[in-house]
Amino acid sequence: MNKKVALQDLGHKDYKETWDYQERLFQEIVDLKIKNRREDAQLETPNHLLFVEHPHVYTLGKSGDINNLLVNEAQLQEKKATFYKINRGGDITYHGPGQIVGYPILDLDNFFTDIHKYLRLLEEMVILTLAEYGLKCGRSEGETGVWLDVGTPFARKICAMGVRASRWVTMHGFALNINTDLGYFDLMIPCGIKDKAVTSLNVELGRKEVDVEEVKTKLLKHFETLFEAELTGVKTTT
């Protein structure tokens, strides 16, 4: 089993361009697995982890309700935002500047074949990272992602998650709010959940801005530990 994960930091990149790139990497792994099965081969399958920051964009998952987007096309243009229906699970979410978006494209046959465990480990990676900033975060039953003050009237989401998996290969992933303009969440019903708020790390810490690169370093440390993975490759913005 190949536990090496090639890390790429794509910097600030268009959503659709990144989605297409994800699809290419995803399909390469799937094709290799099909070849291994058909030809009884044992070619090693690669794993990838992409970090990216997107321009303002709303994405709707396969099970999502378009009515959870509260603005029309003209209003989206006014806000310099785009919209895509995509092939992950979950409802509507927002990506934008000041967010760390992570796309693990993993062959889970290299790690464990359990999607539930996969999602819980991604959540745990974020929970452990935010604990280093003194925040006590957790999970909300039946709602994927990472939350603060779960079970209280003040529950608020700081990290959204939505994934796709086929032949145990994953794509899409998580979006962690760091220095995010939370006003963009007012244009939708986040993840289709009406009674809970959204927050970001800088708001919770009472800071104007949090060092995004520092947060990435902490996330990667916990990713390696939880997945027993070895990160390889040089960060790049190309």
Predicted confidence at residue 178, as pLDDT, reads 98
DSSP string, 174-206: EEEESS--GGGGGGB-GGG-SS-EE--HHHHHT
Which residue positions in the chain have pLDDT lower than 50? 236-238
Q: Which of 174, 4, 16, 37 is nearest to 102 (CA)?
A: 174
Q: Which of 198, 235, 233 is nearest to 4 (CA)?
A: 233
Residue-wise pLDDT for 196-220, tens only, equals: 789 999 999 999 999 999 999 999 9
By the 10 Å C-beta count (0-12 exposed, 13-18 middle, 19+ buried), 227 is classed as buried
Which residues are paired to 166 by β-bridges?
169
Q: 133 a known binding residue?
A: no
Predicted confidence at residue 87, as pLDDT, reads 84
Predicted confidence at residue 21, as pLDDT, reads 97
Q: 88 a known binding residue?
A: yes
What are the sequence ranges of the domains in the chain? Answer: 4-232
Annotation says 137 is catalytic? no
Predicted confidence at residue 160, as pLDDT, reads 93
Q: 90 a known binding residue?
A: yes
pTM of the model: 0.93
Question: Active-site residue among 106, 159, 191, 201?
Answer: 191
Candidates 3.40.50.720, 3.40.640.10, 3.40.50.150, 3.30.930.10; CATH matching 4-232? 3.30.930.10
